[in-house]
Amino acid sequence: MSGFEGSYLGANDRISPAAIMECKICWTPYDPAEGDDFRQISPGTPFTDLPDDWHCPGCDAPKTQFMVLEDPGSAQTATLTDIATRTARLVADFVEVYHAKMRDVPIINKALHVQAVGFRPHEGRPLGVLLSPWFMNLILLPEAGEDWSTLTPGTKEVITFPSGDYEFLHNTRETVGGYKACSLFSPMTDFASQRDAVEVAEAVMAALFTPDARAETDRAADIRAVREAELAPPPQPEPAPLAPTRRTVISAGLARGAD
Ligand code: FE
């Protein structure tokens, strides 16, 4: 492990792989996009991955004499770290709910476990899929600094994505605070394995941002009708809407694909 001095004082984990570094003695830059021809460092090698005996191509100073010149990846790295921390908290919370209340409920699918899938920033807010042995929901978390702890649980809000409008329910939990959830599947009895469920969750995240999903409405509605006819009786976790909503159309189509 080699460090470097300067604005980050040797904290390798504080710079992103895209960081452009500069020798503070002779101002020679190290740009990971270019690598270092002289020492056969191939383009794409992050500064933190340079060998410990790598020296400044300009003045032979050691790695420790480099400081951050520019780090285009640092804001994104911070965001992703923040998202990882918060989704881990969400997962821990629902694992606790599972052990406290759900594990012996008949609708539980024992092949599944709680997992956060595909969380990414959406207009500054973490968005992804939370799947569990008893539900799969789209989850929207507040932006850093935004307080959703005063949301009224059960309040409905329609949120628009490129593929259509989705109804989210506001909710709050003691450990994770406020969040908005859009139900995709419940119960989860149709999923044969965690891998199947994760694949569908990933497909949902892709379909959400695909305008083409709108055009498939009719076909997906047909698929959904056929699928419901196959299931006797069809699961009715909530009153059936008069017409399929965008999300049921999309999720039902995806579920069919995962069978
Ligand atoms: Fe130098």
Q: For residue range 59-73, what is the model confidence (pLDDT) as tens digits?
A: 999 999 999 998 877
Report residue 119: phi and psi, to 5°. -65, 135
Indicate the pLDDT class of residue 254, thresholds 50, 70 and 90. Answer: very low
pLDDT(227) > 70: no
Contact 6, 67 (CB under 8 A): yes
What domains can you pick out in the chain, each with its CATH number? 1-74 (2.20.28.10), 78-256 (3.30.1460.40)
CA of 75 to the centre of ligand 1 (A): 27
CA of 72 to the centre of ligand 1 (A): 22
pLDDT for residue 212: 66
Q: How far apart are CA 141 and CA 125, in angstroms?
A: 6
- Give the pLDDT score at 229: 52
Of 200, 198, 187, nearest to 234 by C-alpha is 187
Distance 22 CA to ligand 1 centre (A): 8
Range of weakest confidence among 39-48, 78-87, 237-246: 237-246
Confidence check: pLDDT of 144 > 50? yes
How many angstroms does the Cα of residue 77 sit away from the middle of ligand 1? 27
Biggest distance spanned by C-alpha atoms of the chain: 76
pTM above 0.85, yes or no: no
Q: 135 alpha carbon to ligand 1 midpoint, in Å?
A: 57
27 Cβ contact partners less than 8 Å away, ≥ 6 residues apart: 58
| 119: confidence class by pLDDT, cuts 50, 70, 90 | very high
Could you give the CA distance from residue 29 to residue 56 in angstroms, rounded to a whole number?
Answer: 9
Q: Indicate the length of the chain as a whole number.
A: 259
Per DSSP, the three-state class of 86 is: helix
Is pLDDT of 16 > 50?
yes
Tell me the CA–centroid distance for residue 47 and ligand 1, in Å: 14
